[in-house]
Chains A and B, each alone.
Chain A
Amino acid sequence: MSISRIALSTAFAAVMLAACATERIEPPISKGPGLGQPATAAEIALLDIGIAPSGAGLPPGSGDARAGAKVYAAKCQSCHGDKGAGKPADALVGGTGTLASSNAVRTVGSYWPYATTLFDYTRRAMPLTAPRSLSNDEVYAVTAYVLHLNGIISEDHTLNAQTLPAVKMPNRDGFVDYSKVR
């Protein structure tokens, strides 16, 4: 073997070693076995509880703050305090006008951009110890109560699938979309 051929094969080996050292090399997977089963309407309905800001997904039913006060006292107050004051769980009221201060307080009233989120979260996850136990009327009512505590709607304002997404939250324009910033 000539000197140049030895040099060449040494160089080739070095390139191969470098390639191995940088990253695992594997072909991309582009094809699966296609084993997914058709999801049934009942299967989807059980899970599909997400509510969009447009109100899409809101169920039938209605409620106002008067009815919601009773729900709140029975199901929410032990964690969220009297009239949403908080402790041990998050405060639900207050903080309006504080976001640009050194003592910003973020609550449903001062921070949340959409009322639909309050309905969605309450229905999916509250009360913490018994989620999905409230009726749709109860969720509408307690949502109305929390919004009323924050001075966003009146005590007799009825929330339903049409009126809830129309509620304008005070901090609706307080967010800057960074989803395209990478």
Chain B
Amino acid sequence: MKKSLTKGEGGLRPARGDALVERSDRRSFLTRSAAVTAGLVAGAATAPVVRAAETAATGLPAWSKAPGAPLRAYGMPSKFEEPVKRVVTSGYPTVSPGTGSSLTPLQLLEGTITPNGLHFERHHSGVPDIDPTQHRLVIHGLVKRALSFSPATLSRYPMVSRTHFVECSGNSSRNTGPEPLQVTCGTIHGLLSCSEWTGVPLSLLLDEAGVDPAATWLLAEGADSAAMSRSVPLDKARDDAMIALFQNGERIRPEQGYPMRLLLPGWEGNMNVKWLRQLKLVAEPMHTKDETSKYTDLMPNGKAQQFTFPLGVKSTITRPSFGMTMQGPGLYEISGVAWSGSGRVARVEVSTDSGATWSDARLQGPVLSKSVTRFRLPWEWNGAAATLQSRATDEKGNVQPTRQTWTAAYSAAHRYHNNAIQTWSVKADGSIANVYL
């Protein structure tokens, strides 16, 4: 995917136009263009001067003729992949630059796992720099024994590894405005990432504390300076919740909750409380700021749905998508991601004609519950205008709604839980636009 984006290798090519990343993208494009141009120029200059007297190695690139860089203790991507990064937005750049979000560049990635450095971020007061030796998770409230766990203590517990997506319920809110924004797939849908999480089943710790029968909810709270807090039903905590310590094999990064976060598979990202410091067992939900004034779903009649935890079945085509340019008629692969907060993805259909006809895409296994599934479909583009959509169905029979259906269910001011079908319009000139259907 990344290679196919570079000029001269055919396939799709990124174009400018994402206003939010324009500055960084422009610089990186210049860098990359310079590198590509230099390569072409060098090739043109050396080719005609090959002589019999020169060694057989003449014409090989420099990296094939001398030892490469030294070993290093922690690896980084190629410098040529510098444009592959998150789009960063902050609502309070001067007062608190860490308060805001950054979005995974879905259109530049492949497979299902998000690299740790590209996992989306949403912080309510920046990223705390937590010393794990001073951090504790306290479980208290309606329990027989209030307990305190250090990260080192939890590391001695039996663990499980599970591959799950985390999605902010504000994801895709950029597609709720009156006009479609011409920005990349990641800028619209990139508050979605997927990792293999490893940690301790929360049910083990709840059993150790001894939950009082009167408890039906728990208040989860982070150690960041926003002390972000959400109420979680006890049945979810006992079902598949995890105190996650590792992400894709390494310790969870500070941006994702180091040294520990609550993982509630398939549920609103905001509830997967990072930097987790307390779980208080309570008899009723606490109605915190983030579960009343935010993350509630206003309907057209003025009433709001509260505690709408599971994320809806959803998909988007990541390639081709806005910012890329079709390089003439021929065979392309339509590739994208699908997921559901209610279980496995059962089916993804793709339409290239505004939804008039649909074809089943191939689901790339393993198809895991509450995880991202990659779908693919070969597409012979004839060079004419086309309208691309994907529609996911999960194992519970939930079907991803059209934009019209989704919009009709909520107030015009509503921004959360947008799982409507994404539409990309491919024009005859090869350009691609975000459109509403």
Q: How far is the CB of A151 from chain B (nearest CB, A)?
A: 18
Question: A117 within 8 Å of B by Cβ?
Answer: yes
Cβ–Cβ < 8 Å partners of B292 in chain A:
111-114, 117, 175
Assess whether B208 is in contact with A37, with CB atoms less than 8 Å apart: no
Query: Is B156 on the interface with A (CB-CB < 8 A)?
Result: yes
- A121 touching B412, Cβ below 8 Å: no
Interface stretch (choices A5-13, A62-70, A101-109): A101-109
Smallest CB–CB gap between A101 and chain B, Å? Answer: 8
CB distance A176 to B304 under 8 Å?
yes
Asked if B301 and A21 make an inter-chain contact with CB atoms under 8 angstroms apart, the answer reads: no
Query: A88 and B91: CB pair below 8 A?
Result: yes
The closest CB in chain B to the CB of A111 belongs to: B293
Contact assessment for B140 and A44 in the assembled complex, using a CB-CB cutoff below 8 Å: yes
Collect the chain B residues with CB atoms within 8 Å of residue A117's CB. 287-289, 292-293
A-B contact pairs, 12 of them (CB 8 A): A29-B201, A34-B208, A38-B146, A38-B148, A39-B139, A112-B292, A112-B293, A113-B292, A114-B287, A114-B292, A116-B287, A129-B96
Within 8 Å by CB of B146, from A44, A53, A104, A124, lies: A44
What 0/1 pattern do residues 80 to 99 of B give for CB contact below 8 A with A? 00000000000110011001
Chain A: which residue is nearest B92 at the CB level?
A88
Whether A36 and B139, one on each chain, are in contact in the complex, defined by CB atoms closer than 8 angstroms, is yes
A contacts with B, residue count (CB < 8 A): 58
- Interface flags, A114-125, vs B, CB<8A=1, else 0: 101100110011
Whether B145 pairs with A33 at a CB distance below 8 angstroms is no
Check A50 for interface membership: any CB of B closer than 8 A. Answer: yes
> Interface readout for A13-24 with B: 1 if CB under 8 Å, 0 if not?
000000001010
- Checking B125, B200, B205, B298 against A99 with a beta-carbon cut-off of 8 angstroms, the contacting residue is B298
- Is the CB–CB distance between B205 and A53 below 8 Å? no
Enumerate chain B residues within 8 angstroms of A43, measured Cβ to Cβ.
Answer: 136, 138, 148
Q: Say whether A50 contacts B288, CB under 8 Å.
A: yes
**Which of B278-286, B320-328, B381-389 lies on the face that meets chain A?**
B278-286
Known: A32-B208, A108-B293. A99 touches B302 (CB 8 A): yes
Stretch from B20-28, B223-231, B245-253, B349-357 that touches the partner: B223-231
1/0 contact string of B293-326 vs chain A (CB within 8 Å): 1001010111111111110000000000000000
Q: Are B411 and A99 in contact (CB under 8 A)?
A: yes
Describe B's contact surface by its main secondary structure: loop
| A-B contacts besides A111-B292, A121-B288, 17 pairs, CB < 8 Å | A23-B368, A26-B160, A29-B204, A36-B208, A49-B227, A50-B286, A52-B286, A53-B287, A106-B298, A117-B287, A120-B289, A128-B96, A128-B99, A128-B226, A131-B227, A176-B306, A178-B306
Determine the chain B residues whose CB is within 8 A of the CB of A128 once the complex forms: 92, 95-96, 99, 125, 226
Q: Which chain B positions have C-beta within 8 A of A100?
A: 300-302, 411
A104–B138 CB distance below 8 A = no
Minimum-distance CB pairs A-B, first 7: A100-B302, A36-B147, A179-B307, A99-B302, A104-B413, A121-B289, A39-B146
Question: Would you call B436 an interface residue if the criterion is a C-beta within 8 Å of the partner chain's C-beta atoms?
Answer: no
A8 CA / B123 CA spacing, docked (Å): 57
Query: B226–A182 contact, CB under 8 A?
Result: no
A40 to B147 Cα, complex, angstroms: 8
Give the interface centre of B139, B300, B302, B412 by most chain A CB atoms within 10 Å: B302
- The chain B residue sitting closest to A79, CB to CB, is B95
Q: How far is the CA of A57 from the CA of B302 in the complex (A)?
A: 31
Within 8 A of B (CB), among A123-157: 124-125, 128-129, 131
B227 touches A124 (CB 8 A): yes
User: Contact partner of B284 among A29, A31, A37, A52, CB < 8 A?
Assistant: A52
> Which residues from A are CB-within-8-Å of B282?
52
Which parts of A63-113 form the interface with B (CB within 8 Å)?
79, 88-89, 99-106, 108, 111-113
